[in-house]
Structure 1
Amino acid sequence: MCADTTDTTAAPDYKSTLNLPKTDFPMRAGLPKREPEWLARWERIGIYDRLREKALAGTGEKGKPTRTPFTLHDGPPYANGHLHIGHALNKTLKDMVVRSQQMMGHDARYIPGWDCHGLPIEWKIEEQYRAKGRDKDDVDIVDFRQECRKFAEGWVGIQREEFKRLGITGKWENPYLTMDFHAERVIAEEFQKFLMNGTLYQGSKPVMWSPVEKTALAEAEVEYHDRQTDAIWVKFAVSSTSKPEGAWVADDNEAVSHTGNEIARRDDLAKAFSDASVVIFTTTPWTIPQNRAICFGPGISYGLYEVTETPEECWVSVGDRYLMADALAQEALAAARLQPGMYKRLDDVSADELRGLTCAHPLRGLDGAAGEWDFDVPMLPGDHVTDDTGTGFVHTAPSHGDDDYAIGVKNNLPMTYNILDDSSFRADLPFFAGQQVVKPNGKPGGASKAVIEKLKEVSALIATKRITISDAHSWRSKAPVIRLNRPQWFAAIDRKMGDGNDQYGDTIRKRALTSIDELVTWTPQTGRNRLYSMIEARPDWVLSRQRAWGVPLTCFVKKGAKHDDPDFLLRNDAVNARILEAFEAEGADAWYKDGAKERFLGDSVNPDDYDQVMDILDVWFDSGSTHAFTLRDRADGSEDGLADLYLEGTDQHRGWFHSSMLQACGTMGRAPYRAVLTHGFTLDEKGMKMSKSLGNTVAPEKIIQQYGADILRLWVAQADYTVDLRIGPEILKGVADSYRRLRNTMRYMLGSLSDFSENDRTAPEDMPELERWVLHRLAELDKTVRDGYAAYDFQGVFQAVFTFATVDLSAFYFDIRKDALYCDGDTLQRRAARTVLDILFHRLTTWLAPVLVFTMEEVWLQRFGDEDSSVHLQDFPDTPGDWLDPDLAAKWSGVRSARRVVTAALEVERTNKVIGASLEAAPTVYVSDADARAALESLPLEDICITSQITLTGDTPPEGAFRLPETDGVAVVFQKADGGKCARCWKILPDVGSHSHADVCGRCDSAMS
């Protein structure tokens, strides 16, 4: 028999008697691996459709849902290529809008969509052809379009999965696609409204033309890059100075009589001008053969300059006389290698005097020119002319610029058609035939060089200079874009429509400007100013493109009729109906099938009398029409066909916001949206634009692989999206740190609520002050969260919730209450604390669910893990108004100030190794203000300050007492606590060891009993 060696003097282990947190919720999130599991679960239980059913479940007597619909209409991304960080930003913002609106009681619908037509896809198919040595023009157009459709379908599938991986909710199994048959039918139908209401016309004016892609481009389809070009200074010899006898023409409507002296001066000037030249400056030498006028600025100061001396190797001669703006003469003559002193200013030249001049084209009368340039070049006033650069005279080619075109129309100047679709000069143009402005590979052609050489040959140049300019390029091919006069189809935005939708104006422009000011809310407000100024100044909308993949302009023109003839366009309801019926059944391919013209025109219209238009619609017309076939036509669209919100990047003021506004104003008389929210662009950590060549791009896929989608979403929520957003490795590390702190807060709540039941619930009025203060803060925060989400202020919402969770809760409330939660028995204090934790849990998980969709689902399921449960099926809990208690909040603001002084004083002692923990302290706190002292006396201050004992006094603090400069009237003197250390709660108290359980305090003895 062995002796008993048990040490009966060892202290009992009380750890098992504590109410320690119990949870399987891991601190290590493992998001990249676990997020796909939640995605699969949401798909399995049909979250999106269940939310729609939830809206219908509460229908009233008249069968209307009790939840107000909220529709965010998705601006369609282009079905071409993997997602970039801008896509992730945009779709995440949309998702946070939809989810927060849903949880605030709306029926928030989100139908994702894709833009499927247009040049980028067509260009990709052509690239595949070129790689195989095939010519697109040799392929049947329907077959070619089918290849484009198949290409788009493939990328829709890829992008859909990439968007879903970001945690985006929506009707993914049934998105809208602009290439769906019904969508193509509606796009054609919307176009027909322009046809029938008289706004459609064919005109010939300069458009942004891509010679490489051989099509017109919208402003939104170009980007600006620096490129080098030859700037030239060209002489236009004055050929005539004639004026009406006895009068000096001031403008088109005014003749001012002059005295004999003035007439004599005019005659003197005429002699001076007889061998003078007007000097123009241009960076597009290839446009000189198309010159038809020279413009001057009526308010600019001009002078007549004479060359008196020349250096070697220059193109000017002594005695040459040049007309130039005074502010630019020195710069222009310096380009001609003339130093000051080599020329002199002869006289002032007024706008009236310039008005009467006529010049000769520099190529006039040349052998071999066949009379091509034997015409007068008038001098015309133009408000667009400035003396910022050049010579103060603007060479005007009406076929190649908006200002030039406007001047040409006003003054009946002839249009020229020297440049063909591929940017080559027409084959019969003398000297320059066949030379291209831009080669098929996007590089500069020989057109400008050929013109410069010819101008040199005829001594028409005074200078050339190689300069760098910012110029338009196609964002697809990256090739330069030129301004080119081409017959195109336009929507007239200032033509009275007479369609009966005149509530907000009788023209597209008036309706759009009224909508911007009266019908739409803008976030930020600067978006309003930007779009307003664009639409206020914009020209007519170019609707046509010379390509194959898109919805055709479904109209017919009468052979031999002029553009302005009333019967030029066929407007026939029966024809239109047959087209729409075919498109609904077969898609827009029906337009290109054999016999299409005869099929659509039917028996009532002779096919021999009409030509079928084969241009396609601008892809922006497609996307601008999405409201019609998505919001209006779908059962899950919106009741009135309008969107509650359009949300895109700032570039869409000239893109989707713009085209949608014009399109809807032309067809239904107003904007298709009630609100517009814009976000900035994504930049790298240094604020640089992202570029593959710089190697500073950040791919969403890489972030998800490393951190998980919730970290990417949290980056969006933490940033101010109204300006450009920066992202990079260091920024993401900071975001991940914020995430970990928040995750720790949620883990603490889960652990403390592991066995919470309704029997533990305590009424607010029975709770201690600290718990009632937390409820007050929740009531304040509830308003902040709801107001913030309603205003799409995700940064404000997250910062408010994060600060509350980490400062008010983790660093204050949890810090104080963990003693009661761990060590108390079944006390009111512990029950109240757990009740508050339950209340906190329901609010924090739902408030954060629109941002951290995966993590809050994990938190929710950790507690409520049945098969059909999801935090995303919840609404934000209602918060009783009587939780607000301003007086209590004011009192606790003072308490927290005093606590900060105590904890700061104890931290000094901890740093100095005097104590290891605050429970070893029993400080004396000196509070001079009687009311503040009374407030502290009403509370268990030692628990609040996490000390074992505390003494509160109104005495004058001794010299050397610890103070904080920001807290007046509070001082602390440190003392160590007296007594024994409780083996269970670790407080140092005099009664430790005097109870039935060894080495514990009275509170712990009672809890164990």
Structure 2
Amino acid sequence: MTEQRDYKDTVFLPRTDFPMKAGLPQKEPGILARWEEQDIYRTLREERAGRETFVLHDGPPYANGDMHIGHALNHVLKDMVVRTQTLLGKDAPYVPGWDCHGLPIEWKVEEQYRKKKLNKDEVPPAEFRAECRAYAQHWVDTQREQLKRLGINGDWDNPYLTMDFGAEATIVAELMKFAEAGNLYRGAKPVMWSPVEKTALAEAEVEYEDITSTQIDVAFEIVESPIPELIGAHAVIWTTTPWTIPVNQALAYGPEIEYVLRDVDGRRLLLAASLADETLHRLAGGSDTPDQAQGETVWRGKGSDLAGTVARHPIAKLVSPREGGDLSRSRATSDQGAQGPRLRGDSQAIEFFLKPRPLLAGDFVTTDSGTGLVHMAPDHGEDDFALCKAHGLTPKFVVEADGRYRDDWAWLGGDDERRMSVINPKFNAPDGPICSDLREAGALLSASADYKHSYPHSWRSKAKVIYRCTPQWFVPMDRELDGGGTLRSRAMQAIDDTRFVPEKGRNRIGAMVEGRPDWVLSRQRAWGVPITLFVDRKTGEYLADPAVNARIVEAVRAKGVDAWTEEAAADLLGPDYDPADYERVTDILDVWFDSGCTHAFVLESGRWPELRWPADLYLEGSDQHRGWFQSSLLEACATRGRAPYDAVLTHGFTMARDGKKMSKSLGNTVDPNKVMQQYGADIIRLWALSVDFTEDHRIGDEILKGVADQYRKLRNTFRYMLGALDGFDRDAEGVDPAQMPELERYVLGELHALDATLRRAIADFDFNEYTRALVDFANEDLSAFFFDIRKDSLYCDGEGDLRRRAYRTVLDILFHALVRYAAPVLVFTAEEVWTTRFPDRGSVHLLELSPMPESWVDPALADRFGKLRDLREQVMEAIEPLRREKTIRSGLEAAVTVPAGAVPDGFGDADLAELFITASVARGQGDGVTVTRTEDHKCGRCWRLLPEVAEDGALCGRCEDVIARMDDAA
């Protein structure tokens, strides 16, 4: 046997400098620096000027900490929107922004004061606000660099900040629109109040946590009633807020509820009939079975029969008139050594507890729990306030900003030992001051600290909040507006007119707006935009003079929020008004009003001329249905009659790998900054765009490892294409699709279908589908199918052979399409891929999609190849057992027989062997696929086992022809 020739140098193996190992953490910062040097963002604005625009308005995150994984997801989604719209050829600017006012930032600065044992209230307000401004600016700068590192393309040198003087002036101007239109009022209503932070809170600033509270049953003695049996009996109420008993003013019953009067051991108790047994079981300490009837029923009737019934406050039992009209303790003196409640203050203060407590009809009373009777404290409940107001019972304003009862309040006020915050568990405990006093009065029927329920907390301090009635500024939801409709009706219409993705967002925000109370605008804090109103001291009406308002706006534009001072009042009021006649409001605006105005100072200001109003899209987490989406909606509907957006896209929350909520205390948080250090930003981006972000989703080490593996496959797809296209010249080598083999024409048709899928996903904001379709096409249609089949042609066909040139032409088409498709997802890798092949053709992110020729679409061809691929899967499955058993080493050694009826028309046996990558394929009459090891010999160049090869190492006919041509050319 003659010595065989080494054909290694005659095979056209792919060549590229594109590394298999990504090294993203090291490589991405350099790419980012190049983008900044080239000013890609501004270049895009210049190149797309005059094109159709797409405006995504950025919702402002708080500038108070490092970027977390929720920030990362949110901004990757926004970047994906902007980049895909840019890919379609639109001018899609992105102006990032930050919310810089409000409690979250002020609270952090106060924390710094507390660590230094300093009192914020002793610092001049302007100095304190300057510290808040500096704190916010620090985190703006920090988050900006972190988001840039994530590959987010935006106007980072010119972001919007709500603390910019121009923004603050616009917020004031928007407030004045409400004022001049009569859409503001000052009123006293119970609002969510944080005793720790000493301010009212918006619903969006409240979160709910499970707690265990004290539940008590309290007896109110009935002193008057049209029903004789009730006089001297006790109406029983149940509550989990014992601290509200000192401001009780009435009891409420359900007019359609059935009530019974039970005589239990000589004491008659009024209860809802359906709750009587359960209540009496509770009062007995659970000693009886729940369904056991207790006591004798001496009266039964409907709630409406209770009209005209009057009870007295339980503490009244401890108070009796002295001769001369003074008040004293009936069971103890007011001496220092007296036991029980020390009622103090003047006779008017103590008289409050002697006033009758009417039983009033309340439609809100249910029999879901409790006793069917509800005690009413108008200071501390919305239903309480409304019902009492309708009957002339007004709030007493006795709980102060810090949650303690006012010093001069007759019960619990001025008693330093017992005067503690109403949210203090000790205050409400069964042995605390409230329960102890009620027990002494003989009114406490039961008390236990074991009631588990959900309760509102401040999302910043994590402390419990209360409903507290205080004077606040409101925007009415149901007042008729100029131009027709109420704010509520306008907002509901705007919700109908808005596109929601996912659609369930419409119902969520709709239910919130439909049932929400008036908008509480005021906050009792220092760091924010002031409510720039002057109130007439005599009439209580605020001044709505456009000239005064214009002076205020310009002053804020020049000096920011520090322009609103007592010293400036005379200049702001002008010569027509005496400052002595007006009270300057010192509250600040709800920070949600700030953010609700961003559409005005970002989209309409002209500072960013590439933007326009309204925005095409708002995109935030689903919690913003009660936050930014809603405040923006209400502000714009009141001032402009419609929503400031055409569409709203929401995403869910990122959970830990086990589905639990992330928490630093649990140690299950994922820091995106650390992930970028380990994996690179493109891995975070691929994760964010691979999950179903419209629902809650997960992240963790194993999930990230899976994403990294997915990334490696995509990277290798690009690496293969770069190597296979080494030296390709479309003008010299390109083949017209009409002249290509069927396989190439089929792949072009699949690319056309992919393009349609991705464009549809862009329109639907379905980025999970976008990414999945792109990854599946690269892995399944290309790497595992097209590339696998055609590598033999690439390596071993002659350079000028039609099949090889057609393959490389399609690879070139695929490269240009896929690098564009991948660019919004893998922003750094796509740039690396593009510049590896075209180092002098700018950035991949300046490119746009071109339409796919309709001539590529061939349904019949697609159907034939679809059936063939199904058969190919069966063949590969049949080969695998032989490969595992080492009967054969690869499919190239397999002789395959397939059912003749399973082969689509138009494919010969040689075509099948090429497409299945086997030695041979024959057609049989059976139903299944059979595989044996071929007896043919292996070509020394292409390694195919063919009948025409005389012995192992000899050449097949194709390779002989290619070698001959190469030798002739040499």
Common fold: TM-score over 0.5: yes
- Cross-structure match for 1:609: 581
* Cα distance in 2, alignment partners of residues 560 and 533 from structure 1: 40
* Correspondence for 1:575: 548
Which amino acid in the other structure matches residue 832 of structure 1?
Answer: A
Aligned to 1:531: 509
Aligned-partner Cα distance in 2 for 1:410–1:89 = 49
Give the aligned partner of residue 260 of structure 2.
303
Deviation at 1:640, TM superposition (A): 4.4
**1:548 paired residue number:** 526
Partner of 1:395: 375
CA distance in 2, matches of 1:921, 1:241: 100
The equivalent of 2:495 in structure 1 is 516
1:446 paired residue number: 427
TM-superposition CA deviations, 1:406-448 (whole Å, max 9, x none): 2123322222211111212112211310469996897446377
Matched, 1:407 2:387: yes
Match for 1:950 among 918, 921, 924? 921
Residue number in structure 2 paired with 1:158: 142
TM-score, length-scaled by structure 1? 0.89
What does residue 780 of structure 1 align with?
753
Answer yes or no: is the 8 Å Cα contact 1:202–1:490 preserved in 2: yes
Match of 1:94 in 2: 78
Aligned to 1:4: none
- The aligned counterpart of 1:464 is 447
Candidates 992, 999, 1002, aligned match of 2:954: 999
Please give the residue correspondences for 1:245-260 in structure 2 after superposition, counting only pairs within 5 Å: none
Distance 1:43 1:434, change over 3 A: farther
Alignment of 1:946-985 (within 5 A): 946-951=917-922, 953=923, 956-957=925-926, 963=928, 971-972=929-930, 974=932, 976-978=934-936, 980-985=937-942
Question: Per-residue CA shift, 1:350-384, capped at 9, x if unaligned?
Answer: 12211231111212261355312122211112121
Structure 2 partner of 1:321: 268
**SS class of match (2:949):** coil
SS across alignment from 1:378 = strand
Please name the residue that 1:848 is paired with.
822
Deviations 1:483-538 (A, max 9, x none): 1000000011111121x4x4xxx2211110000002x1001111100111111011
Tell me the CA shift for residue 573 of structure 1: 1.0
Task: Write the distance in 1 (CA, Å) between the matches of 2:603 and 2:444.
Answer: 60
User: SS at 2:668's partner residue?
Assistant: coil
Residue 53 of structure 2 corresponds to: 69
| Aligned counterpart for 1:688 among listed residues 660, 685, 695 | 660
**Aligned partner of 1:421 among 394, 401, 418:** 401
User: Deviation digits for residues 431-480 of structure 1, max 9, x if unmatched?
Assistant: 31046999689744637732222111111111111123321111111111
What residue in structure 1 maps to residue 316 of structure 2? 364
Determine whether 1:733 maps to 2:705.
yes
Say which SS state the counterpart of residue 25 (structure 2) adopts: helix
Distance 1:334 1:921, change over 3 A: closer
State the distance in 2 between where 1:522 and 1:577 align: 37
Q: Which residue of the other structure, out of 11, 20, 45, is the alignment partner of 1:18? A: 11
d(CA) in 2 for partners of 1:424, 1:708? 52
Are the aligned partners of 1:424 and 1:447 in contact in 2 as well (CA < 8 Å)?
no
CA apart distance, 1:910? 2.4
Is the 8 Å Cα contact of residues 277 and 294 (structure 2) preserved in structure 1? no
Q: CA–CA distance in 2 between the matches of 1:287 and 1:326? A: 26
Using the alignment, how far apart are the partners of 1:901 and 1:151 within structure 2? 64
CA distance in 2, matches of 1:304, 1:638: 73
Match of 1:820, SS state, is helix
For residue 654 of structure 2, what is the amino acid of its counterpart?
T
2:132 maps to what in 1?
148
Provide, for residues 538-582 of structure 1, a one-character-per-residue CA deviation record: whole Å limited to 9, x for no partner: 1100000011111000110001224xxxxx111111111111111
Structure 2 letter corresponding to 1:515: A
Q: CA 1:853 to 1:605, structure 2 compared with 1: closer, same or farther past 3 Å?
A: same
CA distance in 2, matches of 1:345, 1:730: 65
Aligned equivalents of 1:998 and 1:488: distance in 2? 93
What SS class does the counterpart of residue 446 from structure 1 fall into? helix
State the match for 2:229 in structure 1.
272
User: What is the letter of the counterpart of residue 829 of structure 2?
Assistant: T
Aligned partner of 1:623 in structure 2 is 595
Q: Residues 98 and 161 of structure 2 are in contact (CA less than 8 Å); yes or no, is this contact kept in structure 1?
A: yes
The CA distance in 1 between the partners of 2:594 and 2:508, in whole Å, is 23
Change in Cα spacing, 1:438 to 1:388, as seen in structure 2 (3 Å) is farther
3-state DSSP of counterpart to 2:645: coil
Q: Distance in 1 between matches of 2:293 and 2:693?
A: 57
Q: Kindly provide the CA deviation profile for residues 174-215 of structure 1, in whole angstroms up to 9, marking residues without a partner as x.
A: 100000010000000000011101110000010111111111
Counterpart check, 1:27 vs 2:11:
no
The residue that corresponds to 2:476 in the other structure is: 492
Greater displacement, 708-717 / 340-349 = 340-349
- Partner secondary structure for residue 96 of structure 1: helix
In structure 1, what is the Cα distance between the partners aligned to 2:898 and 2:398?
93
Task: Give matches, 1:631-642, under 5 Å.
Answer: 631-636=603-608, 640-642=612-614
Structure 2 Cα separation of the partners of residues 654 and 407 of structure 1:
27
Q: Does 1:663 pair with 2:644?
A: no
Query: 2:534·2:585 contact (CA, 8 Å) conserved in 1?
Result: yes
Q: Residue 293 of structure 1: CA displacement?
A: 1.3
Check 1:823–1:45 CA distance in 2 against 1; reply closer, same or farther (3 A cut): same
Q: Which moved more, 1:546-555 or 1:891-900?
A: 891-900
- Secondary structure at the residue paired with 2:615? coil
- Residues in 1 aligned to 2:762 and 2:110: alpha-carbon distance in whole angstroms: 46
Cα distance, 1:846 vs structure 2: 0.9
Selected match of 2:365 from 374, 377, 385:
385
Matched with 1:250 is none
Deviation at 1:938, TM superposition (A): 8.4
Within the alignment, does 1:831 sit opposite 2:789 as a pair? no
Name the SS of the counterpart of 1:89 in structure 2: helix
Could you tell me which residue of structure 1 aligns to residue 734 of structure 2? Answer: 761
Provide closer, same or farther for how the CA distance between residues 899 and 451 of structure 1 changes in structure 2, counting only shifts above 3 A: closer
Pair 124,701 (structure 1): closer, same or farther in 2 beyond 3 Å: same
Counterpart for residue 205 of structure 1: 189
Change (3 A) 1:440 1:824: farther
Q: Aligned residue for 1:643?
A: 615
1:849 counterpart letter in structure 2: A
Q: Indicate conservation of the 8 Å contact 2:403/2:421, yes or no.
A: no
Offset at residue 634 of structure 1 (A): 3.2
C-alpha distance in 1 between matches for 2:295 and 2:713: 75
Moved runs in structure 1, 4+ residues, more than 6 A?
435-438
Question: Tell me, what secondary structure is at the counterpart of 1:854?
Answer: helix
Name the stretch that deviates more: 93-102 or 982-991. 982-991
Distance verdict in 2 for CA 1:998–1:716, change over 3 Å: closer
Q: How big is the shift at 1:98?
A: 0.8
User: How much identity, in percent, do the aligned residues show?
Assistant: 51
Aligned-partner residue type, residue 302 of structure 1: Y
Shift of 1:612: 0.7
Measure the CA separation in 1 of the matches of 2:312 and 2:422: 36
Count of matched residue pairs: 925
Distance change in 2, residues 1:157/1:442 (3 Å):
farther
What is the alpha-carbon root mean square deviation over aligned residues?
2.0
Query: C-alpha separation between the residues in 2 aligned to 1:912 and 1:389?
Result: 70
- 1:945 Cα deviation after fit: 1.6
TM-score by length of 2: 0.93
Query: Is the CA contact 1:551–1:588 (under 8 Å) kept in the aligned structure 2?
Result: yes
Work out whether residues 96 and 851 of structure 1, in 8 Å CA contact, stay in contact via their aligned partners in 2.
yes
